[in-house]
Amino acid sequence: MKTKKNDLTPEEFTKLATAVAGLPFIQPAQRETDYVEDVMHTVLNFHIQEPVVVNALNFFQLQVQNQHRINDHHQLKAILARLPDDRDGNEAASLFLWSNRHWTRIELMRRLLEFFESIGISDQPSLRAWAKAASFEADFKDRVKGLGIAVFHWLQIRCGVDSIKPDIWVINFGKRIVGKRITEKVIVETFGKIAPLVGESMSTIDLTIWHFERVSMAVKDSPELRLIAWNMLKAGIEEQLREEVLRDFNWQVVLDQRHKLRYDQAGLTMTPDRSLFGETVPGETSITLRQSAWNEGLELEMLVQHETSLPLPLFKQLQEGLAEAHWEASNDPYFSASLDFEEDMLMSPGMTIDGLAVWVAEQIEKALPGLKIGKV
């Protein structure tokens, strides 16, 4: 069967499906949204930096919505009707609702509300019912000037429809994999076919690609080197545990599973055979060195926990020594101390093993106060 001009060849489809299957999937959080929030997301959340959108919506929800009773379609329209539909009026509305000057987004919101009203949408149930049954070509294309296919599918996702928005992040992902720009329509159709092949929803793929492309994981990170780094950290820490100060304890050092070390919150756990704080403070002590999840930056942290609180004089003594090494400690309801390494486990593909060994040695040096915490 001959492929259409904009379609993918079987080879290109296979490349794209394979690349999707290898992504570190993130499941979307399930939460209820309201009608006004969905309307505002629809007109704000495209071609604007994320912090601007977040700040605008937070301002509306915390400073405006309840104080001025803007909770439904008609109340929102009434507020907008107080100001003229021109640049000055829309800029004033933007300042009032969002504390910014994005007047063109107010203009879009007026048009969107008019469109919704023309097809009988004025609340969340009617919006969700429409979004579930609608298609872009038949029900949204050219109906609200300035809002296109990516916005339509983003609205569908927010309304609980399993879809993918063909925005710049998904377009760039596809182009990097197959070597050409895939049209928005073909993206939606293609990912609809890929989703069941990889056993994930389109919404999950959409969220994962957004994070993955936004932080350039494909070109800035090598998860294989991360596995090597964790094994080197484990070997280096085990060597430290054989030193005179620490070898009085029998240590169990456990590295998390390989698949978790690639992208998840994971690392290694060190458990001595008895309390690090001596016989007067019995109980189990554990020390973990871990990375945050990849979408949270793979930031490296060390955490020491004892299952009970420490005697106050001992805690104060430890707290003073740990503070000098930039640790944070607490003693209620149990003792814990943590250190942000101000490093991450993002591994540059250009890193050599020799360079990695130097970096690992630096991290172990930072970890020593935690390993010797009972001696601080």
Lookup: tokens for 373: 């915490």
Q: What pLDDT is attached to residue 94? A: 98
With beta carbons less than 8 A apart as the criterion, state whether 268 and 253 touch.
Answer: yes
Round to the nearest angstrom and report the end-to-end CA distance of the chain. 73
Beta bridge partners of 291: 266, 300
In this prediction, residues 233-239 reach a mean pLDDT of 96
Helix (H/G/I), strand (E/B), else coil: 357: helix
With left for phi above 0 and alpha for psi between -120 and 50, is residue 99 left, alpha or beta?
A: left
Confidence of residue 1 (pLDDT cuts 50, 70, 90): very low
- 80-102: per-residue pLDDT in tens? 999 999 999 999 999 999 999 99
Residue 3 reports pLDDT greater than 60? no
Look at residues 261, 204, 209 and name the one whose alpha carbon lies nearest to residue 234.
Answer: 261
Residue 233 in contact with residue 200, Cβ under 8 Å? Answer: no
Of residues 268, 260, 269, the one with CA closest to residue 294: 260
Walk across the sheet containing 266-272 and list its strands: 251-255, 266-272, 285-291, 299-306, 335-344, 328-330
Whether 223 and 346 have beta carbons less than 8 Å apart is answered as no
Average of per-residue pLDDT across 244-257: 90
pLDDT at 120 over 60: yes
The yes-or-no verdict on residue 336 having pLDDT over 50 is yes
pLDDT tens track for 258-291: 999 999 999 999 999 999 998 889 999 999 999 9
CB 175 within 8 A of CB 181: yes
Does residue 376 have a pLDDT over 60? no
Is there a contact between 291 and 266 (Cβ–Cβ < 8 Å)?
yes
Please tell me the distance from the alpha carbon of residue 304 to that of residue 330, in angstroms, as a whole number: 11
Residue 10 confidence (pLDDT) above 60 = yes
How far apart (Å, rounded) are the C-alpha atoms in residues 157 and 40? 14
Catalogue the E-assigned strands of 229-293: 251-255, 266-272, 285-291
Burial of 16 (0-12, 13-18, 19+ CB in 10 A): buried
Q: Which structure tokens are listed for 117?
A: 């009203």
Does the pLDDT value for residue 306 go beyond 90? yes
Residue type, 239: E
Res. 4 pLDDT band, cuts 50 70 90: low
Tokens standing for residue 269: 């756990």
| Contact residues for 165 (Cβ-Cβ < 8 A; gap 6+) | 150, 151, 153, 154, 157, 206
pLDDT at 132 over 90: yes
For the record, the structure tokens of 352 come out as 């050599």
Q: In whole numbers, what is the pLDDT of the chain averaged over residues?
A: 94
